[in-house]
Structures are given as structure tokens and as C-alpha cells.
Amino acid sequence: MKLRLIYPDIPFWRAETSRLALFIGGIEFEDLRPSREEILEMKTDGIFPFGQFPVLQVDGKTIAQTGAIARFCGKLSGLYPTKDDFAAAKVDEVIDLATDITMQMRPALRETDPKVRIEMRRELSTTILPRWLGFLDKLLQDNGDTGFLVGDSISVADLAVWRLCAWISGGIIDGIPINLLEGFPLLSAHQSKISNLPKVMEWIKRNHK
């Protein structure tokens, strides 16, 4: 099987979840990270069926949408439940929640008026994100003392939340404090747990400059 994952050279969760899942699973794939100019050409050539990325090509056939790609890569890598429908649905739930959180953030990230942007990001930090991050913290609580979001082992749900939260609290978004996760002990512990897994550490060393 020839796999080609297409996404810009940034460690955003939408692609990083699947990149890392394949890496952890030892699945060979082409990690294509096109430039802005190359992306424009790909859009013209119809590479992106819905005009957006990531896109995964499997033997020349295309899969679009973050969740679909993450599930596919998770199944290949053993990081998605294939014999427990309820657990699979819970993984899907987390990936959809990560998408919802991203969409909640989008208006404040795209606002061009400096004064409005400052106020929107203040609301993100004090009201919107604490509410949604609380949902993630509660999912960890509901899953017992495993330290994972679903079941008792790592899944693509954990990879998605790990990278999403690293983006949110990584100091790269102006107006979003780096200590935002401090009010969520289980989520903070989850970040540390995933970051210190040997294969994750190896991936970070190789790809996160």
C-alpha cells in the first residue's frame, strides 16, 4: 500500500495526528509538505476534493477530511478500536470535539482589526477555551485512572488532543496564555504523558524544529 499524506510543513493537529499514528505504527508513508505555491497548484489540479487539506492518497485514491484520515491511519497503526464499536465511537467523539474547539477559535484567529482581535482572544482565554478544555478534562476523568482518553492504551484520540493542546498553550497564538492548561490537571498530565512516550519523543526530535 502506497500512502501519501499532504499537508503544509506545520505540526498542526489536523495532520500531525495521522502523521504520528503512522510513525508509531511503523507504517511507511510519504510525508509531503508542500509550499504555499505548490498548494495553489494542487488546488488547480484538483488534488484537494473539497478545496482543503489534509489529504491522504492511498494507492492513488484520495481520502479527505481530518477525522476520516485519522481513523484510517489509526486502524493501520493499531491506534483505533476495530473490535469495540463503543470505544471506536468514543475516539470519533474526541476527534470531533477537537474539530469543534478549532472552529470555536477560528473567528478570533482570523480577525484583522487589532482592537477587536485582542478582545476576542481575551474571551477565548477566559471563557470559551476553559469551557471546552473542561470537556476534555472530564473525558479523561470519566475514563478512570488510565491517563488516556479512551480505553487503557493510546489511540488517535490522544494524539489529536495532545497536539491540539500543545498548539493552544504553546505560546504561538498572541493573547492565549501558555499556562492555560494549569486549571485542568488531568489534561496537563495527559500532555506530559503523551509527550514522553518514546516514539513521540523520537518524532518530535525528527520533525519539530
Rounded (5°) CA angle 104-100-136: 105
CATH 3.40.30.10 domain residues, the chain: 3-77
Residues paired with 56 in a beta bridge: 5, 63
Q: Per CATH, which fold does 3-77 belong to?
A: Glutaredoxin (3.40.30)
Contact indicator for 146, 90 with CB cutoff of 8 Å: no
What pLDDT score does 209 carry?
67
The proportion of the chain whose per-residue pLDDT surpasses 70, expressed as a percent, equals 100
Residue 30: helix, strand or coil by DSSP?
strand
Q: For the segment 63-113, what is each residue's pLDDT rounded down to a tens digit?
A: 999 999 999 999 999 999 999 999 999 999 999 999 999 999 999 999 999
CATH 1.20.1050.10 domain residues, the chain: 85-197
Residues paired with 61 in a beta bridge: 58
Contact indicator for 208, 11 with CB cutoff of 8 Å: yes
Rounded (5°) CA angle 156-22-52: 75
Tell me which CATH code domain 85-197 carries.
Answer: 1.20.1050.10
Task: Kindly state the cell numbers that stand for 51.
Answer: 478545496
Is residue 46 very low, low, confident or very high in pLDDT (cuts 50, 70, 90)? confident
Residue 15 has pLDDT above 90, yes or no: yes
